[in-house]
Amino acid sequence: MGIDTPTLDDRSYEEYLEQAKKLIPAYSDEWTDFNPHDPGITMLEVLAWVTETYTYQLDQITDEHREKYLQLMGHQKQLQEAASARLSLSPPEAASGTRLPAGTRFLVTDGTNDTYRFETDHDVVLTDATLDRIVTVDESGKTDNSQENATDGMFYRAFGNTVERGDTMYIGFDGDPFAESNSFTFVVEYHDDDLPEPTASPTGESFFEPSVELQWEYCPANGDSWVQLDVVADGTKSLYEGGAIELARREDSHGSSRQTAEAPDDVESSDLTWFRCRVETAGYEIPPQVDRIEPNVVEASHRATVSNEVLEQVAALGEPTALDGQTYETQHTPILWADVRVDGERFVEVPDFDASEPTDPHYVLDRKTGEITFGDGERGRIPPSSATITADYVYGGGSDGNVSPSAGWQFEDPTKSLTETTSLGDIELTAAGAATGGSDRETISEALERVRQDLRTPHRGVTVDDYEAIASRTPGVRVGQTNVLVDGDRVIIVVVPYAPPDVSRPTPSDGFLDAVRRHVTERAMLGDRVTVTGPTYVGLDITVSGQARPRYTENGYEEDVRAVIESYVHPLIGFGGEGWPFGRSLQTEAIADQVASLDGIDYVSDVDITAHGGAALEDAVAIGEQELFSVVNVSTNLTIPEADDGGRYP
């Protein structure tokens, strides 16, 4: 017995007509003849019939039709996302130097009968060396960040607050990570709690490639020189984000390591094994912020990889036949990625067979059920009856993978050997917290709503506002402010990268500018010549004269004066929080008002501004449309009233 299909509107033609007739008196007192011969009633009958017809047609629209509409608009439902977790590994000493490869599987239980499979995202080389010290050396001196690195809830800047060429981060280990292996891996936890998320791309593309260059080096305990290391893998993008780094010590043809520079005196603990990271080419928009650097840590995701699985035909009776629309299925679901082959020939996944030719090696994949459907010979090739259908695929993902911090973790095969005397089961696993980031596949309703929002978003540079919006949404970077200037067919886009408030001159690197340029150029109008550049900063030397309130003279009012001025003209947070506008002049009266608003200031009598650039006007500094302000120095000339003999102030 079939299930009745629900209808959008269960009213019939007669009900539509009767409802319309009942509304006539509300609009006309003179229309009193409701018989069929009346021309007005005839029109109502036609409209009631049309309404019923349209309602019926709309009622036949299924999710399949809606998905076709999404394809027509250039979209599709977003796939489920796999949750990820960070695991700390405590290996036995005998396992030091052993490589745990990417794809190592774990079984996770979280208070239910369900078991979730996770696998590692990257290789990790186990070590018995422990991290002992983190030291930053920059132009301001030496800063020991060891306590911050070891304490939850604290972070530090790897190269200081202003990153310049030569700034260095030293990492000291109690023990030598290279004692048993020429490779060493560790994980950097990037602190981005106070930062906006970089713009994400729906297709996963990112044009951003860091132009910052770092040099990693190594000095063994009691050594007197530094050895240059090779970066085998860098999941941090030169410390732009968190991830795993693998370093390798390379031997030359004579068997000795390449030496670079002598060990500096600022590394005091010679009994430690030191790694250092030097800035060779600066350009960070945001000084690298680190929560923790730690060895023996690995990222694992809620997914599992299957290789060369022979697929079985769905509902096949006896031997498979070369019939049209053959359907095979995988043993595990849901599918995140798949590579299907027919007798070794790779077939291509398509959303449907509408555009397929008879000989095209195409298939349609239902990721939820794992069903793989081939063509009918007219649209898509039919596999031979004797063909062997195999698939490599990754399955998993979904919100179920967001397991709690108390979930139980173990290796899928704890008996697998690591060394002659140790196995995977000898490694103690500790999850750093809950698994996060898992999400279910987008529903058709959610996808349609996302498309509606997307249709309101400009994707082609037609107007100035379009160019500003497109530049601000460059995938992989954080854009703080933009300004678009048009000169004929030339479009000049000035971009200010996002930076913390203590960065007074946010400046884009070459990699940042190149990412914005490529993103915008692909979406520019034909004939427009796009130029992307950073802002020009006009430095300000400001002297403030006036009188301070006596009760505040010991509370650092000079620092407050500088802070309020810097905040007011800041490119990102100034001018009421929106960032100082490009080309807006700075009035001395505005500076006086900002300073006078401080509790420690009685009044401001004069403000003197010396600008390094721009145009000095009477009581103002004017700047161009590509320029912004930056405070170089603030001096205060504030008098402090003296109390009379009775302790009273004038």
Least confident of 321-325, 348-352, 458-462, 534-538: 321-325
Instruction: Please say if the pLDDT value at position 317 is more than 60.
Output: no
Instruction: Please say if the pLDDT value at position 228 is more than 50.
Output: yes
Instruction: Please say if the pLDDT value at position 414 is more than 50.
Output: yes
CA distance 363 to 139: 60
Q: What residue segments make up the domains of the chain, in order of their start?
A: 84-124+401-431, 127-295, 303-396, 457-533, 536-639
133 close to 145: Cβ distance less than 8 angstroms: no
What percent of the chain has a predicted confidence (pLDDT) above 90? 72
Question: Which residues pair with residue 617 across a beta bridge?
Answer: 620
pLDDT band at 614 (very low <50, low <70, confident <90, very high): confident
Positions of E strands within 503-551: 529-533, 536-548
Least confident of 100-109, 219-228, 602-611: 219-228
How confident is the model over 534-581, as pLDDT tens digits? Answer: 999 999 999 999 988 876 655 667 888 999 999 999 999 999 899 999
Instruction: Please say if the pLDDT value at position 64 is more than 50.
Output: yes
358 close to 379: Cβ distance less than 8 angstroms: yes
pLDDT band at 225 (very low <50, low <70, confident <90, very high): confident
Closest to 601 (Cα-Cα) out of 643, 543, 644, 561: 561
Least confident of 96-100, 248-252, 306-310, 585-589: 248-252
DSSP string, 166-185: T-EEEEEEES-TTSS-SEEE
pLDDT band at 644 (very low <50, low <70, confident <90, very high): low
Instruction: Please say if the pLDDT value at position 255 is more than 60.
Output: no
Write down the pLDDT at residue 325: 79
Q: Taking the mean position of all CA atoms in its chain, how far away is CA 358?
A: 41
Instruction: Please say if the pLDDT value at position 82 is more than 50.
Output: yes
CA distance 344 to 332: 21
Mean of per-residue pLDDT scores for the chain: 90
Closest to 214 (Cα-Cα) out of 274, 266, 166: 166
Query: Hey, what are 500's tokens?
Result: 């913390």
What 3-state class would DSSP assign to 299?
strand
Across the range 102-119, mean pLDDT stands at 92
Instruction: Please say if the pLDDT value at position 452 is more than 50.
Output: yes
Instruction: Give 49 or 600, the one with higher predicted confidence.
Output: 49
Topology of 457-533 in CATH?
GMP Synthetase; Chain A, domain 3 (3.30.300)
Least confident of 200-204, 255-259, 591-595: 255-259
Write down the pLDDT at residue 184: 96
Write down the pLDDT at residue 61: 85
Write down the pLDDT at residue 523: 94
620 close to 607: Cβ distance less than 8 angstroms: no
Instruction: Please say if the pLDDT value at position 203 is more than 80.
Output: no
Question: Which residues pair with residue 136 across a beta bridge?
Answer: 143, 169
What 3-state class would DSSP assign to 372?
strand
Sheet holding 601-612, edge to edge: 601-612, 536-548, 627-639
pLDDT band at 259 (very low <50, low <70, confident <90, very high): low
Write down the pLDDT at residue 112: 78
CA distance 592 to 546: 10
Across the range 41-60, mean pLDDT stands at 90
Write down the pLDDT at residue 256: 47
Rounded to 5, what percent of the chain is helix, strand, coil? 20, 35, 45
CA distance 480 to 474: 11
Write down the pLDDT at residue 561: 92
Instruction: Please say if the pLDDT value at position 58 is more than 90.
Output: no
Write down the pLDDT at residue 1: 44
Write down the pLDDT at residue 616: 77
For the chain, the farthest-separated pair of C-alpha atoms sits apart, in whole angstroms, at 113
Across the range 430-443, mean pLDDT stands at 94
Look up residue 412 and give its DSSP letter: S
CA distance 568 to 589: 13
What percent of the chain has a predicted confidence (pLDDT) above 70? 92
Across the range 421-436, mean pLDDT stands at 93
Across the range 470-484, mean pLDDT stands at 95
Measured from the Cβ of residue 307, the count of other Cβ atoms closer than 10 Å reads: 10
DSSP string, 75-117: --PPPPB--EEEEEEE--GGGTT-EE-TT-EEEEE-SSS-EEE
Out of 69-78, 522-531, 615-624, the most confident range is 522-531
pLDDT band at 266 (very low <50, low <70, confident <90, very high): low
CA distance 469 to 438: 29
Write down the pLDDT at residue 268: 60
Query: Hey, what are 535's tokens?
Result: 């802002």
DSSP string, 541-596: EEEEEEEE-GGGTTS-HHHHHHHHHHHHH-TTTTTTTT-PPTT--EEHHHHHHHHH
How confident is the model over 336-386, as pLDDT tens digits? Answer: 999 999 999 999 999 999 999 999 999 999 999 999 999 999 999 999 988
What 3-state class would DSSP assign to 70?
helix
249 close to 260: Cβ distance less than 8 angstroms: no
Instruction: Please say if the pLDDT value at position 260 is more than 80.
Output: no
Across the range 87-95, mean pLDDT stands at 93
Instruction: Please say if the pLDDT value at position 330 is more than 70.
Output: yes
Look up residue 517 and give its DSSP letter: H
Instruction: Please say if the pLDDT value at position 210 is more than 80.
Output: yes
81 close to 49: Cβ distance less than 8 angstroms: no
How confident is the model over 162-189, as pLDDT tens digits? Answer: 999 999 999 999 999 999 999 999 999 9
